[in-house]
Amino acid sequence: MYDLIIIGGGPAGYNASERAAHAGMKTLVIEEKALGGVCLNEGCIPTKTLLYSAKIYDYAKHSADYGVNFQGASIDHAKVVERKEKVIKMLVGGVGAKLKKAGVDVVYGKAMIKSKSKDGFTVEADGKEYNSTKLLICTGSDPALPPIDGLKDSLANGFAMTNRETLALKEIPQTLVVVGGGVIGLEMASYFNSVGSKIYVLEMLDHIAGPTEREISDMLKKEYEKKGINFILGAKVTSIKDGKVSYELDGKALSIEADKALVSIGRRARTQGIGLENIGVITERGAIVTDDYCRTSVPGVWAAGDVNGKVMLAHTGYKEGEVAVANMLGGKDRVNYSSIPSVIYTNPEVASVGETTESAKAKGLDVEIKTVTLKLSGRYIAENEGGNGILKILIDKKHRNVVGLHMIGNYASEIIYGAAIMVETQMRVTDIQKLVFPHPTVSEVIREAMF
């Protein structure tokens, strides 16, 4: 009998299992494929590995701007993919070792929740039954694949791809159509643009990068237009077949011929076929309903990560898993969804936390918005020839605390956690003015914006 069975060994599940084991709970993780989930195996980490190679290649191409001459820089895509596999292997192995050290049991197989009784829950995997007093469901998400004409066949014959197949491509497509200008679409477009593909991004909205601060998503679009990406906004994709992506724009039927088409139009929680109905866990629009304490509708059953359909980011999953375990142990911990940072690892990077100009307006918040150029940072100028990054800070006018911070420019991905602390702890402008920022760094622009 386990104290806790965790279904799914992605970031939410593996991190929660370690916390639970450290707290003395006898814990079992049931994983269908590989520890690390989408994040380690076909998401965050492989993408970042590819994008780092692209960044080095971009630097090589533009090295003359910095007084360095590289002749004949070229990309070896097969080698990039090989290195990505090595990175994944190392990290997945690392997770396995950590769980072993923490004393977590791991079983590989597809889990099916069978029943609940007064003593707890029964879960079947790999032909065996396991029992526990508590359950944590961390089954993640799958790519959303709407019934677009021809999509099913195109996925089967390899013309259409999700993030999974795109990351495994052995050759660089000459022409790539990206359907969906969100985070996955933009990061993959960024890589294949750097390595020489002709890219078309078809986005149904009138802007890219979803809920990102609009001024910043417009800047990112301009930056990538300069690099040659074609953005087609307001496009309604009608079919993906026969090597062609067809769409409607302003009432006109148009199409683009391509070697490959990436479909990245969001993700759906993975809740089918795991036996939720056997114990009565309530779902809404396909995702498990949870509260801020990560409780589901069934006492003793928690859920964390993409499966709740809330903020589909690995670090949200980490946090939710930790909150769930803390509450199982009698705590009263909750997730503050308003201070979760997010990053788009394009070049330049985009990073955000908290309210945007648009969300503050929609909520009727009275905010002061300060916009400063990253060129206030000496390091930014030294390292970004022709760079044009900005930082935007939203300050609550009444309490003078930071409620949102948004950046476009490199190192934004590493700076944003500091901003998340400011939002989470409701730091006031006067508190931030007292901080010492190291010089010369790009983070110094936050200090500049406070005076």
Our finding on whether 312 is near ligand NAI (CB under 6 A) is yes
Which of 210, 275, 286, 440: binder of ligand NAI (CB under 6 A)? Answer: 210
Our finding on whether 187 is near ligand NAI (CB under 6 A) is yes
Which of 132, 190, 193, 342: binder of ligand NAI (CB under 6 A)? Answer: 342
439 is catalytic: yes
Smallest distance from ligand NAI to CB 403, Å: 21
Which of 179, 216, 298, 432: binder of ligand NAI (CB under 6 A)? Answer: 179
Taking the C-alpha atoms of residue 135 and residue 276, their distance in angstroms, rounded to an integer, is 11
The contacts of residue 40 (CB under 8 Å, 6+ apart) are: 10, 11, 34, 88, 91, 92, 95
Our finding on whether 237 is near ligand NAI (CB under 6 A) is yes
Angle at 316 between CA 315 and CA 321, to 5 degrees: 100
* HEC letters along 347-381: CCCEEEEECCHHHHHHHCCCEEEEEEEHHHCHHHH
Which of 264, 346, 377, 410: binder of ligand NAI (CB under 6 A)? Answer: 264
* Token digits of residue 5: 């069975």
Our finding on whether 182 is near ligand NAI (CB under 6 A) is yes
Our finding on whether 313 is near ligand NAI (CB under 6 A) is yes
| Closest C-alpha among 199, 181, 153 to residue 237 | 181
Which of 18, 42, 203, 444: binder of ligand NAI (CB under 6 A)? Answer: 203
Task: Give how many residues touch ligand NAI by CB under 6 A.
Answer: 24
State the maximum Cα–Cα separation within the chain, in Å, rounded to a whole number: 72
Our finding on whether 246 is near ligand NAI (CB under 6 A) is no
Taking the C-alpha atoms of residue 225 and residue 448, their distance in angstroms, rounded to an integer, is 30
Identity of residue 204: M
Q: Are 15 and 323 in contact (CB under 8 A)?
A: no
Our finding on whether 181 is near ligand NAI (CB under 6 A) is yes
Smallest distance from ligand NAI to CB 205, Å: 4
| Cβ closest to ligand NAI, residue 245 vs residue 403 | 245
Smallest distance from ligand NAI to CB 141, Å: 7
- Compute how many other C-beta atoms are within 10 angstroms of the C-beta atom of residue 76: 12
| Cβ closest to ligand NAI, residue 182 vs residue 409 | 182
Q: Are 332 and 194 in contact (CB under 8 A)?
A: no
Which of 95, 216, 262, 344: binder of ligand NAI (CB under 6 A)? Answer: 344
Q: Are 167 and 47 in contact (CB under 8 A)?
A: yes
Which of 2, 224, 345, 437: binder of ligand NAI (CB under 6 A)? Answer: 345
Q: Are 254 and 246 in contact (CB under 8 A)?
A: yes
The footprint of ligand NAI (CB under 6 A) covers: 179-185, 187, 202-205, 210, 237, 264-267, 312-313, 342-345
